[in-house]
Amino acid sequence: MNKQSNTYTVIYIIVLVVVVGAVLAFTAMSLSSRQQANADADKMKQILASVRIVPAPGEVSADFSRYVTRQIVVNSEGEIIGDDAFSVNVSAQAKLPDTERQLPVYECTLPGEQIKYILPVYGAGLWGPIWGYVAMDDDGSTVYGAYFAHEGETPGLGAEIEKPAFSDQFEGKQMFKADRFIPVTVVKAGQRPLGDEDYVDGVSGGTITSKGVATMLSNCLSPYRAFLETLRNR
């Protein structure tokens, strides 16, 4: 075949595309299990971060199994409907009506037999998704700890939600006020909310991201009211 012809050029390009595509597909398939394992490990680290546990390198899965002693899935009535919280897609569930959601709960046993309940949250920031985990004491009202992350918030501004200076403010805040369930909100520094709910200061210069966190907490924690009430009434 004439290597200078258009036919040869077209065939050469087609063969090259097919070969490169096959190599990329094979590589993606061979690495998919490792990628999933890395994603799972990162999720475990974030869940543990909400109760202030930092796993040693290579010990993430072991520490997760050690401290997360039970996983359940509840509905908006507080009823247990499953036992595999880790596999629930929180981003998809957050878009559903409260009554249709599957709500993951991670029961964590800390040293001294302290029991904490970790609830995942998911929402939208300025530039993309934001998410996190809120750990509750076994009284069903007091926040023990929190962890937040983001996909693409502005460094030095909205991205500050991932820093302890922001998340540490949630410790000790209350979700129930005189038997009324009101998730902790986020306000501009120096301001107060209109109601009597507990609040934390938003990040400086990250107004939209801070509002996104407030909306995320309200949207994702409100369906847990019945479950948290069962903890309070035990």
Residue 139 belongs to some domain of the structure = yes
Q: Do residues 150 and 159 lie in contact, with contact meaning Cβ atoms separated by under 8 Å?
A: yes
225 phi and psi angles, rounded to 5 deg = -50, -50
The identity of residue 179, as a single letter, is D
Residue 169 belongs to some domain of the structure = yes
DSSP H stretches of helix in 76-222 = 90-93, 164-167, 207-221
Query: Residue 5: its pLDDT value, please?
Result: 65
In angstroms, the CA 162 to CA 133 distance is 11
Residue 163 belongs to some domain of the structure = yes
Tens of pLDDT, residues 129-150:
999 999 999 999 999 999 999 9
Residue 204 belongs to some domain of the structure = yes
In angstroms, the CA 232 to CA 161 distance is 29
Q: Which residues contact 88 (CB under 8 A, 6 or more apart)?
A: 73, 82, 102, 103, 104
In angstroms, the CA 173 to CA 145 distance is 9
CA-based nearest residue to 171, from 137, 205, 194:
137
Query: Residue 30: its pLDDT value, please?
Result: 62
Query: Residue 121: its pLDDT value, please?
Result: 98
Residue 67 belongs to some domain of the structure = yes
Q: Which residues contact 30 (CB under 8 A, 6 or more apart)?
A: none
Residue 190 belongs to some domain of the structure = yes
In angstroms, the CA 71 to CA 8 distance is 60
Looking at the chain, the whole-number percentage of residues with pLDDT higher than 90 is 75
Query: Residue 196: its pLDDT value, please?
Result: 85
In angstroms, the CA 170 to CA 4 distance is 70
Residue 82 belongs to some domain of the structure = yes
Tens of pLDDT, residues 163-181:
999 999 999 999 999 889 9
Q: Which secondary-structure segment (H or E) carries 80?
A: strand 80-82
Q: Which residues contact 134 (CB under 8 A, 6 or more apart)?
A: 50, 118, 119, 121, 143, 145, 146, 170, 217, 221
User: Residue 62's CB: how many other CB atoms inside 10 A?
Assistant: 12
**pLDDT confidence tier of residue 202, bands split at 50, 70 and 90:** very high
Residue 27 belongs to some domain of the structure = no
Query: Residue 32: its pLDDT value, please?
Result: 63
Cα dihedral angle (89, 96, 47, 201), rounded to 10 degrees? 150
CA-based nearest residue to 217, from 202, 230, 229, 232:
202
pTM: 0.85
The residue segments making up the domain with residue 132 are 49-232
When divided into structural domains, the chain yields a total of: 1
